[in-house]
Amino acid sequence: MKKVMCISWLSFFAAPKKVMCFGTFDVLHEGHRFYLSEAKKLGDYLVVVVARDETVKKVKEKQPLHSESERVRHLKQLGIADKVVLGNPGDKLKVVEDERPQVICLGYDQTFFTDKIKEKLQERGVSVDIVRMPAYKPEMYKSSLLREK
């Protein structure tokens, strides 16, 4: 007897679920790998937005150790993200409008530009789910701690 495989046409033509993460990713470590890997499990396509050098300097009050282009290259080499892009130096939500993710994953300690992000995006016609990701050994894998070593 021959088996017939049945494919739902709706799922066949459905767009992949896009997930977006943000960060500086200056000293890439296991906590970042965990954050990105867990975020990727929430969808089919992961876009990672890397903070611009000028944004890092403004937010963290110090220059990143690695340039924005180096940080993009390192994330691409990591091989978890499907797409790595630089953030917008002015309008921080423009990249979300451009990419139209269904899910935004925030790091456990991410606070900059996250206040009322869901509401701000809804005002722009972008509907997303916001997920706060858990920490992974923050006593060991936190960029500020690793940077001091």
Q: Side by side, which strands form the sheet with 45-50?
A: 83-86, 45-50, 18-23, 103-106, 129-132
90: Cα separation from own chain's centroid: 18
Contacts of 134 (CB under 8 A, 6+ apart): 38, 108
Please say if 76 is a catalytic residue. no
**116 class by beta-carbon count within 10 Å (0-12 exposed, 13-18 middle, 19+ buried):** exposed
Rounded distance, CA 11 to CA 55, Å?
A: 39
- From the candidates 62, 76, 83, 137, give the one annotated as an active-site residue: 62
Pairing of strands 129-132, 103-106: parallel
| Paired residues of 20 in beta bridges | 47, 104
Please say if 120 is a catalytic residue. no
Active-site positions read 60, 62
